[in-house]
Structure 1
């Protein structure tokens, strides 16, 4: 077990290294000149060239990447082009708000998607299975920003029962209850696609495990349906369901950008959106890198949890 943990952790290092290369190259492919953006359209060509030299943009890409990576490893993401403040000071406070939204969305998609998939799998070809399968197909195809707008219109504007935007009531902040109330709509909008995916995968896993020989063996010996389901079906389905749930973290953090913009949730996604409109490349680069690193680390944790709870995986080491 310890050997696996050490090996799996070291395997994460080249993955993170590859992620940093991809993020750096993607930012270089964005059209536009960050130096020209900083100085404005009235700047002379001499001033542009001088600032480009001062910032190291005149050097080869691999040299720029090495300098950038060394600074990132020290916690220095550079300075915002638009606001002229350290990028870390802009993004780190927002990251906590995005984590809150991600946790809320994960609770929604795990509870609703997991329970729906389990019931649909156990009640294959029932009316519930047909309805949930149709809902999952629609939910998996639904754009996050459109759903966010529809939820806002129906629950906030038409019914007036949920807050329109923000994390707290600005006139009278109500602490955690107020936060949870503001969290409902963004979490549902962000989690809808992942909920549908988890429901479909869970249903397939449950049906597949029910057809295993050992499950039929215990059924033939008169083991009650409830005991057989809880001990053998659900227990063996937990590992693949956990894997697919972990993979949804990355999608949820990406989808949070749209929800945060629509609901004015002050998170990482909203800050990245503002940076995109302002062509603030250091902020865009650091924000994407934070999301990618979080996705890799979460999946590392999922693998470790799977190893801890699954005897078959431990025995295979």
Structure 2
């Protein structure tokens, strides 16, 4: 396993560099210029050119990319074009809330999807199965931003049970309980969306194994139906489920951009929108760097979990 992980990490290096190059080219293909977003249009063109020169925007694209890559290998991600703060500090201040929101949402989604999918498969074609399948389609079909606005209106404004925005109360101490109360609504929205998509995969995977011969043998030996279903059947159904969950992790980080806007959550999502609107290339490159690392790490972690769940899987 150790040799396999090292080999995968070495393979990830050129893949990572290719991703950064592609992102850099795509961002610079967009019309317009960051300086146009920063300076009053009535300022003389000579001053605009000076500003572009100071930001390095007059250099050829390959020179700009080489400079950025050199800074990355020195542990620097450049400075924001809009706030002039170090990009590493901007991302460092926002990555924590986003990871907290994404991790809690994934946990809630899995805790809902796995039991519901297993019960739906065991009770195949029953009324309970139809209800659970219908609710999963409903959770998948409702756009997250619409669901979020619905929760804000009903739970936050009408019932006034929970706060509707931010990560903590303004002027408050920012205690764990306060953060937890602010997390409930966005985590519910993302968790329901994740669970809605995963219930069908869990159900389908369980149906594939429920009628296998080894389960009939386990029942014939006198094992309870609970052990047969949740120990023997579920474990063998986990491989496709793990694949789907692993592919969902980067999507959760991307989907949190919308949820962070709806609930004013101070994470990477808000920073991404600010960088897009101001054409802040260094900040966008830093965010894309984080996204590339998450995808590569998730793929590696998924392969490792495969071997932990199924001892028959070996990596040489």
Same fold (TM over 0.5): yes
Q: Tell me what 1:117 maps to.
A: 117
Residues 20 and 285, structure 2, Cα contact 8 Å, conserved in 1: no
Evaluate the alpha carbon distance shift between residue 74 and residue 216 of structure 1 in structure 2; reply closer, same or farther with a 3 A threshold: farther
Following the alignment from structure 2 to structure 1, what is the Cα–Cα distance between the partners of residues 122 and 78? 53
CA contact (8 A) 2:82 2:278 kept: yes
* Equivalent residues of 2:38, 2:278 under 8 A apart: no
Partner of 1:62: 62
Q: How does 1:144-223 map to 2 (within 5 A)?
A: 144-173=144-173, 175-219=175-219, 222-223=222-223
- Does structure 1 conserve the Cα–Cα contact (< 8 Å) formed by 2:120 and 2:129? yes
Structure 1 residue runs of 5 or longer lacking an equivalent are none
Once residues 286 and 40 of structure 1 are traced to their aligned partners in structure 2, the CA distance between those partners, rounded to angstroms, is 27
Compare 42-51 and 95-104 and name the one that shifted more.
42-51
Contact 1:250 1:291 in 2 (8 A): yes
**Deviation larger for 207-216 or 219-228:** 219-228
Task: Name the residue aligned to 1:47.
Answer: 47
Which structure 2 residues correspond to residues 264-303 of structure 1 after superposition, within 5 A? 264-303=264-303
CA distance, structure 1, for counterparts of residue 66 and residue 140 of structure 2: 40
Match of 1:227 in 2: 227
Partner of 1:215, secondary structure, is helix
Name which of structure 1's ranges 191-200 and 92-101 shifts more when overlaid on structure 2.
191-200
C-alpha distance in 2 between matches for 1:57 and 1:274: 20
* Cα distance change, pair 87–24 in 1 and its aligned pair in 2 (3 A): same
Deviations 1:241-266 (A, max 9, x none): 22211211111111111111111111
> 1:83 and 2:83 equivalent?
yes
Q: Which moved more, 1:210-219 or 1:190-199?
A: 210-219
Distance 1:200 1:117 in 2: 7
Counterpart of 1:255 in structure 2 is 255
200 and 83 in structure 1: CA distance in 2 versus 1, 3 angstrom threshold:
same
**Alpha-carbon offset, residue 215 of structure 1:** 2.7
Change (3 A) 1:35 1:263: same
SS in 1 for 2:313: helix
Give the stretch that moved more between structures: 132-141 or 144-153: 132-141
TM-score for both structures, normalised by structure 2: 0.91
For each residue in 1:188-215, what CA deviation from the matched residue of structure 2 results, as whole angstroms up to 9, or x when unmatched?
A: 2223322112111111111111133333
User: Residue 136 of structure 1 contacts residue 199 of structure 1 at CA under 8 Å; is this kept in 2?
Assistant: yes
What is the TM-score when the length of structure 1 is the normalising length?
A: 0.91
d(CA) in 2 for partners of 1:140, 1:78 = 39
Distance 1:306 1:257, change over 3 A: same
CA RMSD in angstroms comes to 2.1
**Structure 1 moving runs of 4+ over 4 Å:** 220-223
Distance, in Å, in 2 between the alignment partners of 1:101 and 1:231 is 30
Structure 2: give runs of 5+ residues left out of the alignment: none
Cα distance between partner residues in 2 of 1:102 and 1:311 = 29
Displacement, 1:279?
3.0
CA distance in 2, matches of 1:60, 1:214: 64
Q: How many angstroms apart in 1 are the aligned matches of 2:74 and 2:131?
A: 52
Equivalenced residues, count: 316
* 2:20–2:288 Cα contact (<8 Å) kept: no
In structure 2, the partner of 1:105 is 105
